[in-house]
Amino acid sequence: MSPSMSSQAETAAPAPKQPIDSLFAFLGTCAVYGLLAIVLAIPSSTLSQKQLCLFLVPVIIVWLAYVYTWPGIDVVMQIICPLFYAMDVLVWRDVRGTFKRIHRSKTHTVDQPAHSSSSVTSNGHVNGVNGITSSKAAQAVKPPCHADAGIWEEPHPSTIVSRLKWSCYLICSPRFGNWTIGDARHDAAQLSRADKSISRPARILQLLNRFVIAYMLADIFGLWALHDPYFDWRTNLSITSPLPPETANTLVRLLGQGKVSALAISNPRFWRVLISATPAWASIEAFFAMPGLIFLSLGGLGTVGDQWGHPAVWRPASGSLVSIADRGLRGFWGDWWHQMMRCVAGDPGKILGNWYLRNVSQHSASSRAKGAPSTSSFHSFIAHAIHISTAFFLSGVMHAGMVPKAASSASPLHLALFFWVQVPGILIELFVERVFFGEPTKGQASSNTSQDRRKKSMIAKIVRFTWALFYLYTTFPFFGEQLVALRLWDMHAVPLSPCRWLFRGEGIGFWTWEPRHFATV
């Protein structure tokens, strides 16, 4: 390392982090989730939704603001995520009135919900719609709607122990998997997965396959990054700077002499985006596969029940690539990418979009009465734009918290900008799709043959898939360059690296993580 780089490293090095600081920060965040579990176990008849919000939201905000002043804080996981989750289950949704936990058994015992009489909550939801009006004593029930599949839904229970179990399980379900929440699309998907889930061995094999592939890709691309000075935060190289000779020679050996290797070497941006994005996906995929493999195995041994060990509970983090061809950028973010924060980031925008539709529909109805043309399609587009704009704005704010409070050359704005610029891409996609690939009129439908429609559908899929990859490739450097500035590449993506041991020679061990990797915030 040159003297200039050494001095730069000394001045930019963050302050050391003490283990006790991280422990206190973790406990401070756990206090928020514990408080949520307790208050959500209080029945609506005792504490209404409005009273719950007025009492608890200010307490959580003040507490998290205080926790933020502590050293060793992970802003995303310990400040932003609990705040967004608390707002979702306290403000944006009436959890106790609309949420139902999905169970699987042929006969089951269910408590009377704590709100058995029909009443309207402060959020406009109707309680007591579950049709359970029996006494508080538990009773065996087999609902006809899902009886054949052995599936039943548990609303907010009546007994304190059942309510605490119910709320604790909710806190452990950030994606609201295994819950019906009053959203038609979400509920249908959850009940369908519960009904038609694959077998336990098949799910274990699926997750194991995903884990091995993701782990190896993270290892290979992480090792590749070690040989490229662009991924060293001290060099401050551009993403378009030439590839180092070692990387170029490796590409020639892999691709052979010819136009393909020459094209690869002449496009360093492509390889660096690929090297940055692949471990990001692979790390998330492997991280979410591990608990699934553990709990599914324990479920097979009978150690845990179906609530934690059923195959429907542990789906892979990412979906099918076909969804990108079907829906473009919307399919990438809405179906393929992991949905851990989909509800907490998307619910405010959905509420605003529905509010816009309700208010504008009244105005449109009065206008149509006077002979004005209907603009329902336009208003639906605007409502959808409000929804996705709010969701990606909050997602950008959340990821901006990746920049630590200590000194860092990373830009929170650039991290957020990657998510914010997805909005115009999706809106362009929606507009072009409506113009060129919209539903045909009756005359067009009768004149087009089925072969023409299949050809048009295939062209649309190719265009959507290509557009999504191009747009993500163009915008990813906003995010990828900040990963370099955050020094994430100083630490190998996986703790045990077969590739490092195989390709870097004798004396290089499997273990890659060192104490210095955990010494900074």
- Tell me what the mean pLDDT of segment 116-123 comes to: 39
The phi and psi torsions of 126 (rounded to 5 degrees) equal -100, 125
Q: Tell me whether residue 326 is in a domain.
A: no
pTM value? 0.79
Q: What Cα–Cα distance (Å) separates residue 305 from each residue in 151, 297, 298, 311, 396? A: 14, 11, 9, 11, 37
Co-location of 462 and 496 in the same domain:
no
CA distance 163 to 44: 12
- Tell me what the mean pLDDT of segment 164-186 comes to: 88
Both tokens of residue 7? 């001095």
Co-location of 259 and 293 in the same domain:
yes
Mean pLDDT of the chain: 79
Co-location of 183 and 215 in the same domain:
no
Q: Tell me whether residue 135 is in a domain.
A: yes
Higher pLDDT, 227 or 299: 299
- Tell me what the mean pLDDT of segment 363-381 comes to: 61
Q: Tell me whether residue 253 is in a domain.
A: yes
What is the pLDDT, as a whole number, of residue 449?
64
Q: Which residues span the domain enclosing 396?
A: 331-486
Q: What angle do CA 271, 273, 277 make, to 5 degrees?
A: 120
Look at residues 148, 177, 196 and tell me which one is the last residue of a structural domain.
196
CB 39 within 8 A of CB 86: no
Co-location of 501 and 417 in the same domain:
no
Q: Tell me whether residue 3 is in a domain.
A: no
44: Cβ contacts below 8 Å, ≥ 6 apart: 96, 97, 114, 115, 121, 127, 156
What is the pLDDT, as a whole number, of residue 438?
61
Co-location of 211 and 135 in the same domain:
no
What is the pLDDT, as a whole number, of residue 34?
93
pLDDT band, residue 129 (cuts 50/70/90): very low
Please give the order of strands across the beta sheet that includes 179-180. 151-154, 100-104, 179-180
Backbone torsion region of residue 101, taken as left when φ is above 0, otherwise alpha when ψ lies between -120 and 50, otherwise beta: beta
Which of 221-230, 260-269, 503-512 shows the lowest per-residue confidence on average (mean pLDDT)?
A: 503-512
Residue 517: pLDDT over 80: no
What is the pLDDT, as a whole number, of residue 426?
94
Co-location of 479 and 501 in the same domain:
no
Co-location of 347 and 481 in the same domain:
yes
Co-location of 282 and 391 in the same domain:
no
Q: What is the pLDDT of residues 246-298, one digit of tens each?
A: 778 877 777 777 777 777 788 889 889 998 999 889 989 999 899 999 999 99
Q: Tell me whether residue 7 is in a domain.
A: no
Both tokens of residue 191? 């009940």
For the chain, the domain total comes to 3
Q: Tell me whether residue 17 is in a domain.
A: yes
Q: Tell me whether residue 218 is in a domain.
A: yes
Q: Tell me whether residue 6 is in a domain.
A: no
The phi and psi torsions of 159 (rounded to 5 degrees) equal -85, 150
The fraction of the chain above a pLDDT of 70, given in percent, is 76
Co-location of 30 and 63 in the same domain:
yes
Co-location of 34 and 177 in the same domain:
yes
Q: 79, 81, 75: which is closest to 521 by C-alpha?
A: 75
Look at residues 170, 196, 222 and tell me which one is the last residue of a structural domain.
196
Residue 356: pLDDT over 60: yes
